Structure 1
Amino acid sequence: MTTQGRKTAAPRKRRTYHHGDLRQALVDATLALIAKEDVGAVSLREVARRAGVTAAAPYHHFRDKNALLAAVAEEGYRALNQRMEEALARTRAPDLAGRVRALGRCYVSFAVEHPAHYRVMFREEWGDEEKYAAVHEEGMRAFQRLLELTAEASAASGGKVDMETLAFNIWAWVHGLASLWNEGPLRKKTGSDSISPLLERSLDLLVMLIVGS
């Protein structure tokens, strides 16, 4: 067989990035990989391949895989915090029930809409506050908003409810709801393609337990 008359495929051009774009390109490639496979599939070499850069390129921005995943987690927390800020700005004091609903809705909706970020945001590694200071700071910003609301709820109860315990339980409630939906069991049980109806009913119950209305 000869090659005469056959068209040869043009060589695939390597994508290039201007200064300052590579870091985000690697984060985006990591998110795409997690969405398609899982966190366990992430490696600097594979992310570099998907981003169209050399295997050595990621090391200009990230010392190792965990540093790359920390950047993904930080981005997720920043986006979640922005959502929370906007939602709370629309629902001001003294509407405690409205703000509880707003935070719960933000948390679960973000988790469902951005499952790749969500899978990375709560990894055990981020417990090293010194090594992963930026992730810790953004995570604490989100948790502080919850503490502020539970402090109000505790005060309204005359101090009968411990605000930190209440915060932990609200967090566990919304986190479990989002995780069970993302992993599939709740989608199967409800037979729904949208978490919204279940989320709103859950928020009604949550507000009734916390605020009493």
Structure 2
Amino acid sequence: MTTRGGGKAAAPRKRRTYHHGDLRQALVDATLALIAKEDVGAVSLREVARRAGVTAAAPYHHFRDKNALLAAVAEEGYRALNQRMDEAMARTRAPELAGRVKAMARCYVSFAVEHPAHYRVMFREEWGDEEKYAAVHAEGMRAFQRLLDLTAEASAASGGRLDPETLAFNVWAWVHGLASLWNEGPLRKKSGGDSIAPLLERSLDLVVALVARK
């Protein structure tokens, strides 16, 4: 095509179109990549759309705002953690409480270390709105209920001397803190290792002694 003056006309601008099979998942994946490279604070619908190769308006077909997108990331993380826990507990043939507690602790910490981007999003204060973020709350409670079941068993074994909820909170704080300090660097630096596994194994006897005490 030429212009009246004989020169070539500029080619029409191609509109950026979406070519992925699953827009929602592509946006979640782009969000995780952004968090891994920068941090949660860098996430915006516009930036995620740019990284996913779609128009700035495309994310609004699935997410009303940034928090809705982050909630999808958190839900995916909890679902993956729950699946991993299901598999770990199925493989744990040890009938004793200590063996199951160790399996769950290993599962939690290894997931956090292997999926730090999910982990950063899963415990945000916003998800406390159970009505607004019902799916995140449900998956989070499914994970916590597993721990409550174990601490209720420990409480029964102790003749009721241990409060199961308080025990669950303390075990959760232990594994969560261990994983967080490793992911953020201080614990990794102080331990002088490149894997959390040796430290985790040395620590497991301590938490088991707390949970399975008679």
How does the TM-score come out when normalised to structure 2? 0.90
Q: Give every structure 1 segment of 4 or more consecutive aligned residues whose post-TM-superposition deviation is greater than 2 Å.
A: 11-19
Query: Equivalent residue for 1:8?
Result: none
Is 1:210 the equivalent of 2:198? no
Query: Equivalent residue for 2:35?
Result: 34
Query: Equivalent residue for 2:18?
Result: 16
Pairing 1:36-75 to 2, within 5 Å after superposition: 36-75=37-76
Cα RMSD after superposing both structures: 1.8
The alpha carbon displacement at 1:16 in A equals: 3.0
The alpha carbon displacement at 1:209 in A equals: 2.4
Q: 1:186 to 1:32 in 2, by over 3 A?
A: same
Q: 1:157 to 1:34 in 2, by over 3 A?
A: same
Pairing 1:111-130 to 2, within 5 Å after superposition: 111-130=112-131
Query: Equivalent residue for 2:159?
Result: 158
AA paired with 1:16?
Y
The alpha carbon displacement at 1:91 in A equals: 1.7
Per mean C-alpha deviation after superposition, the further-off stretch among 39-48 and 85-94 is 85-94
Aligned residue for 1:79, secondary structure, equals helix
Q: Distance in 2 between matches of 1:15 and 1:191?
A: 48
Work out the number of aligned pairs and report it.
Answer: 202
AA paired with 1:88?
M
AA paired with 2:78?
Y
The alpha carbon displacement at 1:18 in A equals: 4.8
Per mean C-alpha deviation after superposition, the further-off stretch among 73-82 and 91-100 is 91-100
The alpha carbon displacement at 1:17 in A equals: 3.0
Task: Please tell me whether Structure 1 or Structure 2 has the larger radius of gyration of its CA atoms.
Answer: 2
AA paired with 2:34?
L
Structure 2: segments with no counterpart, 5+ residues = 1-12
AA paired with 2:198?
P
Per mean C-alpha deviation after superposition, the further-off stretch among 76-85 and 197-206 is 197-206
CA contact (8 A) 2:17 2:55 kept: no
Pairing 1:64-143 to 2, within 5 Å after superposition: 64-92=65-93, 94-143=95-144
How does the TM-score come out when normalised to structure 1? 0.91
Q: Alignment identity in percent?
A: 86
Aligned residue for 2:126, secondary structure, equals helix
The alpha carbon displacement at 1:208 in A equals: 2.0
Q: 1:12 to 1:156 in 2, by over 3 A?
A: farther
Is 1:191 the equivalent of 2:214? no
Q: Distance in 2 between matches of 1:201 and 1:127?
A: 33
Structure 1: segments with no counterpart, 5+ residues = 1-10
The alpha carbon displacement at 1:12 in A equals: 10
